[in-house]
Structure 1
Amino acid sequence: MSPTAKPPSSPSGAKRPASDSDRGISPPPLKRKAQAAISKSAVANFFTPTSQKAKERTIWTERSPDDSSPATLLVAKYVPENDESSAADATRSKRRKIAAFDLDSTLITTASGKRFSDGVGDWKWWHHSVPGRLRKLYNEEGYRVVVFTNQGGLELHPDRSKGPKMAKYRVTAFKQKCNAVLSQLDIPMTLYAATGKDIYRKPRPGMWMEMKGDYELADSDIDHENSVFVGDAGGRVADLKGGRASAPKDFSCSDRNLAHNVGIKYQTPEEFFLGENPRDFTRDFDLANFPFVEQEDDDGIRLEKTNDKDIILFVGPPGAGKSTFYWKYLKPLGYERVNQDILKSKDKCFKAAAGFLQEGDSVVIDNTNPDAETRSQWVALARKHNVPIRCLWFKTPLQLCEHNDAVRSLNKKLNPEGRQGLPKLAFSGFASRFKEPKVEEGFQDVIPIQFKFRGTREEYDIWGRYWL
């Protein structure tokens, strides 16, 4: 999560004196002498004709993922004062090369040296070369320069009962800091700040899609080979020298994964601005282990209906692929489906399953069923109706399940039942309760199912991106 500004400390709080290296890099301090609520300049500005007033260089807007959701994306468009042509720049000549940057720990860092900002003015350039390099990208190399930043500490429309004044202060302070950064750069550019856990949050591609729309760019317009995203979240492992970490490991791999998702090169700030060699990196979950494979008729699954009537009990975490498996392999065999996400209660699930059995139908219990105690209730139902019960154990790793859940909840094409995304507790809760299913519990057999992407090439193009 990117840091956000904190309320200013009291006047008595100690401040680190600015070093020589800070001067000319950090913005001027914002502390001012106490003054009247209405200044002379404000009065003069009030009577200045509109045509003579200084134009705001940064225009802020808010956007939402869809018409039914609140705004979670902040967008700042900066137009330099003397650049009359920049307003029409997007339509006059499209810049095909994109240079995109993270904000915190990439373009800027705190002047105080603290992890989180002390206030609006507590920032300096990450390296003194940053502003000159960005200006060169725009003015000499023909790049479109943009910023994509996660700002999870901001809330644009808070619940009034939960301290709206503090939330409003944080948003205002963030805007003021960004205004200063953009003004010092003084090149046409747009900054996108994702404040929610939705399609806009990196590594998800929402901010990239908004950028394409703002500059009227189709995929074919973009020079992907020469475009780049620069950010500090690259999944780098700790750099060990003499048995000690000279550089800590990265907190995540979200910036590298965003670059993967949109098909452009990724570099760390050290690589891009300082010319350092790449460090080793790792991903907790690597999509390279799950390449797309053309589907065959039997897909390697040879599941036959061995009983005239029976129960098949699914066991596996949320997002393991259970429902997809049902629709592809068991629905064609005539099995009815019972799912607690749809029916909302365990009692309704038992009632529905009993009804199907009484009508002579076989039934699939499409729930997680993590432990023997839960499963024993379904074994008892099978005995009551004198039918066999089989167990299909979905052995999908939890990180892959979380990925599947995010893909499903954020993409309507892959979410026909309109399911909402699950909290992390849903996955850790399953793991804490899980006990391996065994035939001794009363099952006719226990069949392990390994995860495999089962879908079209078009569906894989969505699934095969990083969403966490």
Structure 2
Amino acid sequence: MAPPSPDSSKRKATDEPISPPPLKRKTQSNISKGAVANFFTPTSQKPKERTTWSERAPDGDTPPTLLVGRYEPENIGEADRRKRRKIAAFDLDSTLITTASGKKFGDAPGDWKWWDPSVPSQLRKLYAKEDYRIVILSNQGGLTLHADPKSKGPKGGTKNKVASFKQKCGAVLAQLDLPTTVYAATARDIFRKPRAGMWAEVCRDYHIPEDEVDLAGSIFVGDAGGRTAQLKSAGGTGAAAGATVAKDFSCSDRNFAHNVGIAYKTPEEFFLGEPPREFSRDFDLATYPLDVDGGSNDDGEILFEKVNKQEVVLFCGPPGAGKSTFYWRHLKPLNYERVNQDTLKSRAKCFKAATEFLDEGSSIVIDNTNPDADGRKEWIEFARNHSVPIRCVWFKVSKALCEHNDVVRAFNKPMNPEARAALPALAFNGFFSRLREPKVKEGFQDVVEIEFKFRGTKEEYAIWGRYWC
């Protein structure tokens, strides 16, 4: 018998399988069995959705901006429907809940957990044993209820965000299982904290006149308390010992409680019993009190005097500094004519109008911001060419105060005769980035400094003397 050839042995070895054949993998579905079962469950047998949603508009001329979700447990009795004059109001994010993922902002309806495990039990105790009405008041600037029809951006993302928010809130309220309502302010209007629009909706929804709320017994809890940064406790070692607790992103929650007239606490104070931390406000109403003697701060003081038969007065000051009000109260009675670029729309038209007024023999006020020396130089040369002296009125005020004044004016028609809308932050940032304080050496006869002081009636101060930003 002939021995096997080398080629045949090679073929035999290579013909043998080198590993077991691959297994057929079963296709996995992302749809849970519960979801499939729920899909085929008749509508009549599905559990009732306990949260009902509605939308509110700030007025009759604008689309809705306030999203309202009202939750009622399955077994709600008459005791749950009665008026409760003590209100415990809470912010939502970083107060009642936080993200389960650890992200700053949750990107899915299920990405949440209680801020502290004790939160639901403490809220139930407030409701059942201390007779509080529990509500949730949240600024949700990332949501848009109704997209601008003129916008060219995609509309789908807007709807998805609102649907995701509703789903998350529905789950939160279901776990809490108390008769309550969540209010979400989606725009920068009267509903946004620290403005008190949401509070008015709470009182209306629960049929409690605002003057019948037990303000002394009510409270608002939120994380935006204006707390300053601070070092962590000195007990640690190494890098941890020098770490800091970050400052709050704003003071809007504390200011909201001030506006409403109720107590304020941070989540750490309310739920964990921690002592209060230091806080500060960029703008503090305590700095600008009402004159308690006469009920008015318009005390007849002379803030400006005319010193030339004919002159040009140049205003310098940021938007919201009170320049136009100052003109109407103090210079219009002295027969000065006003030149304002907001109304005339261009600098060329301002120079044209100013020339016409001077030719008529009038004195004029240039009521614009005029932050930089180069811009002021044009008016100084204009006055020199017309052989009249030029003076400057310098409104020396902070950016935070100007932003406050601007919003007060925009949201209160009696204090806004020219119907001006609220300005964007860019308007204030742009002014202060270009500001060079005016000096006599630029060519002015004098520079009159005006420090801000509230000048108005007690009724006007009741509006102005709240936090609006």
Which TM-score tier does this pair reach, normalised by the shorter chain? 0.7 to 0.9
Q: Which of 95, 112, 130 is equivalent to 2:101?
A: 112
Residues 134/326 of structure 1: CA separation in 2 closer, same or farther (3 Å cut): same
Range with greater deviation from structure 2 (235-244 or 222-231) = 235-244
**Contact 2:303 / 2:330 at 8 angstroms: preserved in 1?**
no
**Contact 1:319 / 1:404 at 8 angstroms: preserved in 2?**
yes
Match of 2:238 in 1: none
Match of 1:21 in 2: none
SS at structure 2 position matched to 1:224 = coil
Tell me the alpha carbon deviations over residues 68-94 of structure 1, each in whole angstroms, 9 at most, x when there is no partner: 22222111111111115478x2xxx42
Match of 1:421 in 2: 422
Work out the CA distance in 1 between the residues paired with 2:242 and 2:282: 23
**Contact 1:112 / 1:118 at 8 angstroms: preserved in 2?**
no
**Contact 2:296 / 2:458 at 8 angstroms: preserved in 1?**
no
Residues 291/297 of structure 1: CA separation in 2 closer, same or farther (3 Å cut): closer
Residues 174/298 of structure 1: CA separation in 2 closer, same or farther (3 Å cut): closer
Tell me the alpha carbon deviations over residues 244-281 of structure 1, each in whole angstroms, 9 at most, x when there is no partner: 23532212111111111111000011111111111111
Match of 1:451 in 2: 452
Residue 145 of structure 1 and its aligned partner are, at CA, apart by: 0.8
Residue 42 of structure 1 and its aligned partner are, at CA, apart by: 4.2
Corresponding position: 1:138 with 2:127: yes
Residue 33 of structure 1 and its aligned partner are, at CA, apart by: 4.1
Match of 1:334 in 2: 335
Range with greater deviation from structure 2 (354-363 or 239-248) = 239-248
**Contact 1:86 / 1:188 at 8 angstroms: preserved in 2?**
no
SS at structure 2 position matched to 1:161 = coil
Q: Which structure 2 residues correspond to residues 14-413 of structure 1 after superposition, within 5 A?
A: 33-34=30-31, 41-46=38-43, 48=44, 54-85=47-78, 89=81, 93-159=82-148, 161-240=152-231, 241-242=233-234, 244-245=242-243, 247-293=245-291, 294-295=295-296, 299-413=300-414
**Contact 2:67 / 2:185 at 8 angstroms: preserved in 1?**
yes
SS at structure 2 position matched to 1:329 = helix
SS at structure 1 position matched to 2:264 = strand
Counterpart AA for 2:346: S
Tell me the alpha carbon deviations over residues 41-72 of structure 1, each in whole angstroms, 9 at most, x when there is no partner: 445425x4xxx775431111112222222222
SS at structure 1 position matched to 2:365 = strand
Work out the CA distance in 1 between the residues paired with 2:37 and 2:71: 28
SS at structure 2 position matched to 1:251 = coil
Work out the CA distance in 2 between the residues paired with 1:440 and 1:353: 23
Q: For structure 2, list consecutive stretches of 5 or more residues without a partner in the other structure.
A: 1-27, 235-240
Counterpart AA for 1:442: G
Count of residues in correspondence between the two structures = 429
**Contact 2:200 / 2:210 at 8 angstroms: preserved in 1?**
no
Work out the CA distance in 2 between the residues paired with 1:297 and 1:187: 50
SS at structure 1 position matched to 2:52 = strand
Residue 436 of structure 1 and its aligned partner are, at CA, apart by: 1.8
Tell me the alpha carbon deviations over residues 293-319 of structure 1, each in whole angstroms, 9 at most, x when there is no partner: 244665433422222221111001111
**Contact 1:238 / 1:245 at 8 angstroms: preserved in 2?**
no
Q: For structure 1, list consecutive stretches of 5 or more residues without a partner in the other structure.
A: 1-30
Work out the CA distance in 2 between the residues paired with 1:273 and 1:456: 41
Counterpart AA for 1:250: D
Residue 148 of structure 1 and its aligned partner are, at CA, apart by: 0.6
Q: Which structure 2 residues correspond to residues 428-439 of structure 1 after superposition, within 5 A?
A: 428-439=429-440
Work out the CA distance in 1 between the residues paired with 2:355 and 2:59: 40
Work out the CA distance in 2 between the residues paired with 1:164 and 1:458: 44
Range with greater deviation from structure 2 (408-417 or 298-307) = 298-307
Match of 2:21 in 1: none
Residue 323 of structure 1 and its aligned partner are, at CA, apart by: 0.8
Residue 374 of structure 1 and its aligned partner are, at CA, apart by: 1.2
**Contact 1:370 / 1:435 at 8 angstroms: preserved in 2?**
yes
Residues 167/32 of structure 1: CA separation in 2 closer, same or farther (3 Å cut): farther
Counterpart AA for 2:42: N
Tell me the alpha carbon deviations over residues 349-387 of structure 1, each in whole angstroms, 9 at most, x when there is no partner: 222222222222221111001112211222222223322
Work out the CA distance in 2 between the residues paired with 1:138 and 1:295: 43
Residues 259/296 of structure 1: CA separation in 2 closer, same or farther (3 Å cut): closer
Residues 376/86 of structure 1: CA separation in 2 closer, same or farther (3 Å cut): farther
**Contact 1:194 / 1:200 at 8 angstroms: preserved in 2?**
yes
Match of 2:17 in 1: none
SS at structure 1 position matched to 2:152 = helix
**Contact 1:78 / 1:189 at 8 angstroms: preserved in 2?**
yes
Counterpart AA for 1:280: E
**Contact 2:109 / 2:165 at 8 angstroms: preserved in 1?**
yes
Q: Identity, % of aligned pairs?
A: 62
SS at structure 1 position matched to 2:216 = helix
Q: What's the TM-score once normalised by structure 1's chain length?
A: 0.86
Residue 391 of structure 1 and its aligned partner are, at CA, apart by: 0.8
SS at structure 1 position matched to 2:136 = strand
Match of 1:26 in 2: none
Task: Indicate the structure (1 or 2) with the bigger Cα radius of gyration.
Answer: 2
Residues 111/184 of structure 1: CA separation in 2 closer, same or farther (3 Å cut): same
Residues 54/228 of structure 1: CA separation in 2 closer, same or farther (3 Å cut): same
Residue 286 of structure 1 and its aligned partner are, at CA, apart by: 1.4
Q: What's the TM-score once normalised by structure 2's chain length?
A: 0.86
Tell me the alpha carbon deviations over residues 114-147 of structure 1, each in whole angstroms, 9 at most, x when there is no partner: 2221421111111111111111212221111110
Counterpart AA for 2:327: Y
Work out the CA distance in 2 between the residues paired with 1:112 and 1:435: 48
Work out the CA distance in 2 between the residues paired with 1:110 and 1:35: 23
Work out the CA distance in 1 between the residues paired with 2:335 and 2:244: 61
Tell me the alpha carbon deviations over residues 156-185 of structure 1, each in whole angstroms, 9 at most, x when there is no partner: 122563122222111111100000011111
